[in-house]
Structure 1
Amino acid sequence: MKEPAVHLESDVDASLVTLTVDGAWDRALWKQTTERLNKCLAEHPEALIVDLSWLDDPGAVSAPTWMAAQRKAAAMTPPVQLALCIPPDLPLADRMQRLGARHYLPVYARVRQARVAIAGRLPLTERLKATLPPEPDSPSIARNLVSDACLAWDRVELLHPSRAVMSELVTNAIEHARTEATVVVSLRGAGVHLSVADGVTAPPRLLRMSRVRRDQPLDEHGWGLHMVDALAVAWGSLPTSTGKVVWATLQPPATHKRQPRNGTPRLPSSVRNDGPTGPR
């Protein structure tokens, strides 16, 4: 018997994420799904597609989970576009069509249809993109891309911190992934969104810094991500079809609201407490 699974996959610029739920809906799968939804919304993509094509839920009891996720996505600033993919012959499709029509939660038969529809609803975002080899001059090229973006979009106050963050993300990809990297700089409201996608699945980790010892050389290994953590209002990583994407968002000081570390936003209590057999 196949084990239930929840799979998360992002585009290379972390703008659209697909979450696939596979298996029989029970408390264990509900808990796993809720945790992944929390993680995904904490990453604050532009859009989230929840693929329920392989979910076994004949009683449609999972409906409150998807409605709660939609409410949370809509309440974020800027809102996250959320869509469901459910084959029309499943009982859950009929129930979500009725519920979603009142709460602006679209339901599609296939992921491909959802991607096309969502792409048409997303705002036209300014983006600069480059594909860089794992070579020593790639961080410099990425920094210049950030400079061009910040000057073109009148985000001069973010130019130097964004260059520093992008440099560390690209350097980290070169040192650890050693694969070609896709670098994207996007305009996100008053701030900028940086992403670096590489060909290795292992996510980056914040390392505990070594203690300074008298008469010993300073070990600077691991300082890069600590600087990213200090300069960005939020940062993280998501799996992609070919590896992972590491992203960071920077905002001007006047709008700087730092996201909490070592935790993610939680879904509303109605989802946390109801479980897979909550109110229908």
Structure 2
Amino acid sequence: MGVSPPYLSDDTEQDDTEQSVTIRADDGEDAAVSVLTVRGSWDAQLRLNASATLRRCFTEHPDGLIVDLSGLLDPHSESAPTWMTARHAAAGLEPPVHLALCVPPELPLADRMQGLDAGRFLPIYAKVGQARVALAGRMPGAERLTLTLSPEPDAPSAARNLVSDACLAWGLVHLLYPSRLVMSELVTNAVEHAGTEIRVVVTRRGAGLHLSVADRDPRLPAMIQLTRPRPDLPLDVRGRGLRTVHETAALWGSVPTEHGKVVWAAVRGTPDRREAR
């Protein structure tokens, strides 16, 4: 598995003209809000990268998405159709994704978006902080359970129990086994490879579940070749964890955060496709 080109590290040094599309999850609140930042001169290539990254964001289905365009060079507002298309895509999801744009008022794009009457349906803010506060006020209380764990051997068990509580409370008993299995593998990976405090979130997404595990290790996970067990350690087989997640979840992926990363998975009753990011 690999990370597709539109996903770049937030730590990459950039000048004002260098093109980039970055995505980062906001790990400071219970609400799952992602921030997508588009920088550089708008052209066909940047449009393709931005559109591809938007599609991946919507696949993850965050509660809210902030599109930061403060570093976008678009003097003729040619990017406006892309953001209007994103608005329609966000509104068409179930539940809808709350979408907001961050465009400084002195940029021509701000006037263009207001002229399209997008402001009524696609809120526009001058700064990311303002957008984050506004989205938090707009989003209703979701069906979500959270748990903060230490990187101890019993962490996977505690996370599995949280999944059981969610499935029983929300009438999703048929998802109990696969969801517990996926959550167990995600938390086990975090304990073994990150070794930091772990934040587990179980969210209802219609008839399915969205599972996320946040830690403070910025390294994104990748599937590796299965290793043969040593004769003295017959159960020590490396590489099965993410393969189990890939085979069980409908979708899964990872995204960097300000303090580390979030690895997530969507579990549904009848997964029709599997996609790893």
Are 1:92 and 2:109 an aligned pair?
yes
Contact 1:5 1:22 in 2 (8 A): yes
Give the helix-richer structure, 1 or 2: 1
Q: Any conservation in 1 of the 2:251–2:276 contact (CA below 8 Å)?
A: no
Q: Is the 8 A contact 1:127 1:187 kept in 2?
A: yes
Does structure 2 conserve the Cα–Cα contact (< 8 Å) formed by 1:234 and 1:258? no
- What is the CA deviation profile of residues 236-270 of structure 1, one whole-angstrom value per residue up to 9, with x for unaligned ones? 1111101110011112x3xx24334368xxxxxxx
Asked whether 1:258 is paired with 2:275, we answer no
Name the CA distance, whole Å, in 2 between partners of 1:262 and 1:49.
23
Residue aligning to 1:189: 206
Letter of the structure 1 residue corresponding to residue 126 of structure 2: A
% identity of equivalent residues: 57
Shift of 1:127: 1.8
Stretches of 4+ aligned residues off by more than 6 angstroms: none
CA apart distance, 1:120:
2.5
**Which one of the candidate residues 37, 58, 80 is aligned to 1:20?**
37
1: CA distance, partners of 2:144 / 2:180? 16
Pairs within 5 Å for 1:155-170: 155-170=172-187
For 1:100 and 1:250, how far apart are their aligned partners in 2?
37
Between the aligned partners of 1:262 and 1:178, the Cα distance in structure 2 is 23
- The more displaced of 193-202 and 148-157 is 148-157
Matched-pair contact (CA < 8 Å) for 1:14–1:247: no
The one-letter code of the counterpart of 2:178 is P
CA contact (8 A) 2:75 2:108 kept: yes
Counterpart position of 1:57: 74
Assess if the C-alpha contact under 8 Å between 2:252 and 2:276 holds in 1: no
> Partner letter of residue 193 of structure 1?
H
Q: What residue in structure 2 maps to residue 130 of structure 1?
A: 147
Give the conservation status (yes or no) of the 8 Å contact 2:84–2:118: no
Cα contact 2:202–2:212 (8 A) shared by 1: yes
Asked if 1:121 is matched to 2:135, the reply is no
Contact 1:85 1:107 in 2 (8 A): yes
Gaps of 5+ in 1: 264-280
Q: 1:249 maps to which residue?
A: 266
Mapped to 1, the partners of 2:81 and 2:124 lie a distance apart of: 15
Change (3 A) 1:6 1:100: farther
How big is the shift at 1:219? 6.8
The equivalent of 1:11 in structure 2 is: 26
Rounded to whole Å, the distance in 1 between the matches of 2:103 and 2:266 is: 32
Taking structure 2 as the reference length, the TM-score comes to: 0.83
Question: TM-score, normalised to structure 1's length?
Answer: 0.83
Flag the 1:49–1:110 CA change in 2: closer, same or farther, 3 A. Answer: same
| Residues 1:237 and 2:251 are matched in the alignment | no
2: CA distance, partners of 1:209 / 1:218:
12
| Cα deviation 1:61-115 (Å, max 9, x = unaligned) | 1112211222222223332221111111211001111224388222112222222
CA contact (8 A) 1:45 1:80 kept: yes
1:274 maps to: none
Aligned length: 257
Cα distance per residue 1:5-59 (max 9 Å; x no partner) = 2221102368211011122223343333233223222222122110111212111
Match of 1:174 in 2: 191
